[in-house]
């Protein structure tokens, strides 16, 4: 399988979204799930799709050190390689690494001014120019509306899309397409796309809670052992013309 074939297997593309970049510049996306369901593994797949398309990804972790985040990428990439029979794995891996930058913060030390300062350092010194930012582990329950308004302005000013992982609890799962659970409810209007990972027996279902393809909530089925796509035509929404 060639690189372009892997790109076609991007999870969101297989849900029926029509564009390669689901979020536009300045757009917010959220991935909701309970602890341990696979949020990090899933957003790493979104990052790898960008990296394979030669786009720059800034991964911000508030819960894991850099070496642990690196291991997430290596594990997900190797799982993809095994599932899809990628040859010359190491060569492909080395070609995408320059497009990735990992940044870590302590949860209580993450503020918009600090992020702005570090982003400015990266760009003004010509070190890295992100085109997508992933924020993994942000405590939505402790945040304020003002913080997210500031993050939205930062995303627009830097011309980047941002994906957040959102930890929910069992009683907070979204039941309807337009039902955004706490703790995302108070800032949901700032998000263009909201996805939910929900365990269902021996599968993980990915559902579009907000901003689904063509306004509908496509569902994707993942294998919980790898968080990669399982073939299940009855639940997957194919992309027209793919």
Q: What is the pLDDT of residues 62-76, one digit of tens each?
A: 999 999 999 999 999
* Amino acid 2: pLDDT: 61
Between 49 and 148, the higher pLDDT residue: 148
SS3 103: strand
Separation of first and last alpha carbons in the chain: 16
Q: What is the pLDDT of residues 174-211, one digit of tens each?
A: 544 456 877 798 899 999 999 999 998 889 998 888 88
Between 195 and 238, the higher pLDDT residue: 195
Mean pLDDT of 160-185: 75
Where do the domains of the chain lie?
3-229
Confidence label for 137 from pLDDT (cuts 50, 70 and 90): very high
Cβ–Cβ contacts within 10 Å for residue 83, how many? 15
**Calpha distance 179→173 (Å, rounded):** 9
Give the predicted TM-score (pTM) of the model.
0.87
State whether CATH 3.20.20.140 applies to domain 3-229.
Answer: no
Per-residue CA distances from 175 to 60, 121, 188, 216 (Å): 29, 43, 16, 15
């Amino acid at each position: 399988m060639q690189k372009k074939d892997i790109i076609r297997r991007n999870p969101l593309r297989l849900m029926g979204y029509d564009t390669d970049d689901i979020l536009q510049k300045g757009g917010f996306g959220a991935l909701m799930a309970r602890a341990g369901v696979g949020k990090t593994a899933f957003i790493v797949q979104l990052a790898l799709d960008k990296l394979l398309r030669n786009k720059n990804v800034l991964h911000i972790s508030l819960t894991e050190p850099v070496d642990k985040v690196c291991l997430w990428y290596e594990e997900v990439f190797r799982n993809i390689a095994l599932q899809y029979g990628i040859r010359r794995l190491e060569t492909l891996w080395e070609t995408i690494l320059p497009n990735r930058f990992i940044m870590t913060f302590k949860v209580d030390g993450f503020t918009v001014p600090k992020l702005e300062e570090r982003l400015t350092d990266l760009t003004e010194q010509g070190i890295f120019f992100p085109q997508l930012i992933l924020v993994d582990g942000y405590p939505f329950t402790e945040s304020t509306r003002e913080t997210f308004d500031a993050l939205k302005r930062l995303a627009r000013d830097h011309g980047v899309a941002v994906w957040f992982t959102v930890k929910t609890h069992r009683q907070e799962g979204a039941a309807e397409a337009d039902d955004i659970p706490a703790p995302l409810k108070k800032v949901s209007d700032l998000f263009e796309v909201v996805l939910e990972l929900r365990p269902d027996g021996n599968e993980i279902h990915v559902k579009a809670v907000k901003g689904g393809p063509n306004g509908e909530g496509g569902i994707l089925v993942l294998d919980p052992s790898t968080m990669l796509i399982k073939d299940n035509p009855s639940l997957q929404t194919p992309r027209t013309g793919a």
